[in-house]
A and B are shown apart, each in its own frame.
Chain A
């Protein structure tokens, strides 16, 4: 197959060019931009080399640390809860009863709904304090409606992410549970393993690859969450519910500050890399412990 005049390897070129033009080259430019001073709305100031002043500016800004904290908190909390809930739903719907297929199919729905609509439903119908479900339940209980997006903005964003992403975790984990040879479960039961013991020493180790895939893909996507925040809290109040993507977006499209926006973007990528690397370290450690 591997002959010298093999032209088929050129088939990779179009894909490389498009992905390179859209991701690689702009990212390199972003790194360069992070060292210049350029405000699009103030052409009179000109464009000039700024050294590390953009980085200094963001790293000495208290808001930035809050945003970093928010991003990390969102990832750690939602990833943990989505995984646990994904396993619970997987076990719950991995039994056979009438209508189980319908329930599985229905449960997947939130994963396919666009972030903009998820945000809108929750901001208005579900949690709006003056109309809708939140108001209705509060007045039935005789309490003041909770102002979810005002007082508990970050927590509420997390709830929305968990609502949308648990079905995805379920989807992948469910596949793992269904792949499991039933003889293994049967023989473990004969050996006296039940309930918690069966789950932790037989079932979970057998689906660890699936849990791994669900968590990796979940991590990538939860780090990128943007639309949800955009339509519900706009990162506020203040920057209490802002994550790194939203913060960087604001630096560019509110302040029109190219250098600062680029520097935040570079820091975002670096932090993403660190989180992903830590995550893999963590997963490898748990995997070797279990096997």
Chain B
């Protein structure tokens, strides 16, 4: 077999396999534009309609969307600020046992959510904080901060020592060095870590389904209700599904390269 032919074949296989892998997503996307009566058949030809989208954008949907936006924004903001400050302290302050503290944060990433939910649920109930966005932000922040610290510690360590020294010699204060020298240097890293926290929080299911009921439920909970309440309205379900996954997918498109760098930087040599 000629080299050229072999290359063409491999390319064709790549296209076919990737598109097959994505078929479920494509299927959902197309179904969202079909009339309910046509959804049952996986055909590619149909008269598109926005009927499903019109039917899905109810006050109920907007309530969940609003909750998702507020919870995610709150979690990202708090995790990013506390995480960046913490990572800075771990790398540049006179903190004793900085390595142990760093390691402790990492171990909390391994801790499954079920390990904390029993007392968390009981305490939230006692404080009347169940089904509030505040509680959900707090719980998600507990997962977001370790993620920020993990990735940002690496970024802080990558800043060349000479630059920090030079700033010090020039009479730049610690705060000045932090804001004027370090932050601009690792800005992109911080943003991509924060976007990872965004995606994780937006998609978070366990705390959302256990610690909320009606008032503060987020979009993943809203989607799960399609399974129980209106299991056979596939067109509307697909429209809602398409809308809730579009934001993390778009963020993913623009950040996955820096995301990979952040995830691998600490543990990959060279």
Q: Which residues of A contact B (CB under 8 A)?
A: 1-4, 6, 8-12, 14-16, 18-19, 21-27, 29-30, 33, 40, 89, 92-93, 95, 97-100, 103, 105-117, 119-126, 131-133, 135-136, 163, 166-167, 171-172, 174-176, 179, 209-210, 212-213, 216-217, 220, 223-224, 226-227, 230-232, 244-245, 248-249, 252-253, 258, 261-262, 264-266, 268-269, 272-273, 276
> A110-B21, A113-B249, A213-B268 are known contacts. Are A244 and B86 too (CB-CB below 8 A)?
no
- Scan residues 249-270 of chain B and give those whose CB is less than 8 A from a CB of chain A: 249, 251-253, 256, 259-261, 263-264, 267-270
> Are A26 and B94 interface neighbours, CB within 8 A?
no
A148 CB to closest chain B CB (Å) equals: 13
- Does B181 count as interface, using CB distance less than 8 angstroms? no
Is the beta-carbon distance between B210 and A253 smaller than 8 angstroms? Answer: yes
The secondary-structure label for the interface of chain A is helix
A-B contact pairs, 13 of them (CB 8 A): A9-B94, A9-B95, A15-B149, A21-B142, A22-B142, A109-B25, A112-B249, A125-B27, A133-B27, A209-B264, A209-B267, A249-B206, A269-B112
* A252 and B234 form a contact (CB under 8 A): no
B85 within 8 A of A: yes
Task: Give chain B nearest CB distance to A141 CB in angstroms.
Answer: 14
Among candidates B110, B138, B253, residue contacting A18 with C-beta atoms closer than 8 Å: B138
* Chain A residues with CB below 8 A from B238, complex form: 125
Q: A11-B85, A11-B93, A163-B24 are in contact. Are A125 and B234 (CB under 8 A)?
A: yes
What is the bound-complex CA distance between A184 and B80, given in angstroms? Answer: 40
Name the residue on A nearest B255 (C-beta).
Answer: A112
Task: Specify which chain A residues have a CB less than 8 angstroms from the CB of B205 in the assembled complex.
Answer: 114-116, 226-227, 230
Interface string of B147-184 (1 = CB under 8 A from A): 00100000000000000000010000010000000000
Count of chain B residues with a beta carbon within 8 Å of a chain A beta carbon: 95
The answer on a CB contact under 8 Å between A14 and B264 is: no
Report the minimum CB–CB distance from B176 to chain A (whole Å): 13
Query: Given A97-B7, A114-B205: A11 and B89 within 8 A (CB)?
Result: yes
Contact of B59 with A by CB under 8 A? no
Query: In whole angstroms, how far apart are the Cα atoms of A167 and B114 in the complex?
Result: 26
| Bound Cα distance from A113 to B18, whole angstroms | 16
Alpha-carbon distance A10/B83, docked complex (angstroms): 13
In chain B between 107 and 153, which residues have their CB closer than 8 angstroms to a CB of chain A?
A: 108-123, 138-139, 141-143, 145-146, 149
A8 to B264, CA, bound (A): 28
User: How far, in angstroms, from A176 to B264 measured CA to CA in the complex?
Assistant: 9
- Name the A residues within 8 Å of B221 (CB-CB): 116
B205 → chain A, closest Cβ, in Å? 3
Closest chain A residue, CB of each to CB of B40: A131
The 0/1 profile, CB within 8 Å of A marked 1, for residues 57-86 of chain B is 000000000000000000000100011011
